[in-house]
């Protein structure tokens, strides 16, 4: 068991989906990630919140053993995202982004964070990702996420981070945008030429693909007939993925990464069943193990005839 460091957003989201609406629901990549990863291993969080951030939201993390000493409280309001989803839930439409305290975020690691072995650079400005990474002494495994905004506005900084990480976890559309490839398979092959030894492409309701050691590992998402809110599924995936690696002191062999991806995929399947962080906050290892058994039935077939 080793410690996981995450840097990312802490937010309140207002979300409309065909299944309903949630106002100022707890969100942000670092929250989804930490709730998921803390099921497996200790998590250290780096981020910024505003004066309006509720104490109970911090306590939810500390009650799960998350170290919040790197969570800065700044004057002003917490980052707020407002978005809605189209009918098939595959596309989020951003209605408003209020960066608020996030605009001047300058991440500084508390000294006890510097020996972290597992580091996740969630989707933030690649310059901040570099700043965080430079403060970690000797990480064993580093992965990052990113999005279209940084691909379009800070490609050079992004390319720098890509050279320093072991793995990139990225949405399918953004993988294609980053590589200018039309197909996820070709995009994954291109991404390893940019630096990371491994790439995980998150495909929403279609699952994920992992490319490492020149091999592909592809599996579908757990079938969910009623998706309520897909927000945070990718960050939950990353949390399960990292939690599994850190719990078992694993590194980046293909076999280890495969199992970590399945864990992430299963955790993400809970996130989409309710608004915001609710499902993953309520998740138990028992429910997760049960779903893993069910998942094996969904993807297994008799190979001999």
Site residues (CB under 8 A) for its own copies? Answer: 18, 87-89, 176, 182-186, 189, 203, 205-207, 209, 215-221, 223-227, 248, 255, 258-259, 261-262, 296-299, 301-303, 305
The residue written with tokens 């279609």 in the block is 206
- Return the number of the residue (44 or 252) whose C-beta is nearest its own copies: 252
By C-beta, is 75 or 302 nearer to its own copies? 302
Nearer to its own copies, 62 or 183 (CB): 183
Q: Considering the complex, state which of residue 131 and residue 247 has its C-beta at the smaller distance from its own copies.
A: 247
Structure tokens given for 65: 């053993």
Q: Phi and psi (nearest 5°) for 143?
A: -135, 160
The alpha carbon dihedral of 221, 249, 10, 134 has a sign of: negative
CB distance 237 to 267 below 8 Å: yes
Q: Residue 51 carries which DSSP code?
A: T
Closer to its own copies at the Cβ: 43 or 265? 265
**Smallest gap, in angstroms, from Cβ of residue 81 to its own copies?**
23
Nearer to its own copies, 79 or 141 (CB): 141
Q: How far is the CB of 295 from its own copies (least distance, A)?
A: 9
DSSP 274: S
Per the listing, tokens 């608020």 go with 100
Q: 249: phi > 0 → left, psi -120 to 50 → alpha, else beta; which?
A: left
Residue 242 and residue 34 in contact, taking contact as beta carbons nearer than 8 Å: no
| 215, β-bridge pairs | 212
Nearer Cβ to its own copies, position 95 or 299? 299
DSSP 27: E
CB of 146 to its own copies, least distance (A): 20
- Using left for φ > 0, alpha for ψ between -120 and 50, and beta otherwise, residue 219 falls in beta
Q: How many CB atoms lie within 10 A of CB 284?
A: 9
The CA distance from 267 to 264, in Å, is 5
What is the closest distance, in whole angstroms, from the C-beta atom of residue 87 to its own copies in the complex? 5
- Given the complex with its own copies, which of 79 and 244 has the nearer CB atom? 244
Tokens of 246: 């850190």
Minimum Å distance from CB 224 to its own copies? 6
Task: Report the greatest alpha carbon distance in the chain.
Answer: 67
Contact 146, 169 (CB under 8 A): no
Shortest reach from residue 56's CB to its own copies, in Å: 33
Q: What is the smallest separation between the CB atom of 299 and its own copies, expressed in angstroms?
A: 6
């Amino acid at each position: 068991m080793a410690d996981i460091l995450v840097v990312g957003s802490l937010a309140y989201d207002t979300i409309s989906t065909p299944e309903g609406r949630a106002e100022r629901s707890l969100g942000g990549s670092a929250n989804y990630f930490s709730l998921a990863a803390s099921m497996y291993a200790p998590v250290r969080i780096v981020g910024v919140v505003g004066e309006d951030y509720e104490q109970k939201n911090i306590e939810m993390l500390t009650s799960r053993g998350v170290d919040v000493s790197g969570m800065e409280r700044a004057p002003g309001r917490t980052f707020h995202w407002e978005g809605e989803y189209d009918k098939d839930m595959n596309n989020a439409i951003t209605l408003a982004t209020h960066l608020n305290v996030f605009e001047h975020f300058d991440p500084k690691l508390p000294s006890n964070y510097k020996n972290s072995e597992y580091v996740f650079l969630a989707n933030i400005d690649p310059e901040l990702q570099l700043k965080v990474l430079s403060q970690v002494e000797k990480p064993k495994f580093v992965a990052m996420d990113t999005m279209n905004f940084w691909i379009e506005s800070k490609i050079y900084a992004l390319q720098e981070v890509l050279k320093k990480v072991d793995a990139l976890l990225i949405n399918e559309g953004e993988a294609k945008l980053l590589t200018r490839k039309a197909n996820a398979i070709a995009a994954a092959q291109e991404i390893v030429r940019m630096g990371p030894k491994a790439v995980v492409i998150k495909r929403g309701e279609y699952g994920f693909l992992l490319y490492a050691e020149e091999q592909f590992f592809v599996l579908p998402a757990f079938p969910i007939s009623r998706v309520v809110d897909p927000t945070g599924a990718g960050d939950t995936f990353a949390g399960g993925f990292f939690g599994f690696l850190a719990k078992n002191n694993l590194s980046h062999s293909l076999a280890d990464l495969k199992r970590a991806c399945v864990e992430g995929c299963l955790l993400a399947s809970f996130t989409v069943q309710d608004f915001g962080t609710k499902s993953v906050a309520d998740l138990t290892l028992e429910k997760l193990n049960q779903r893993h058994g069910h998942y094996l039935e969904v993807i297994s077939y008799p190979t001999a005839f």
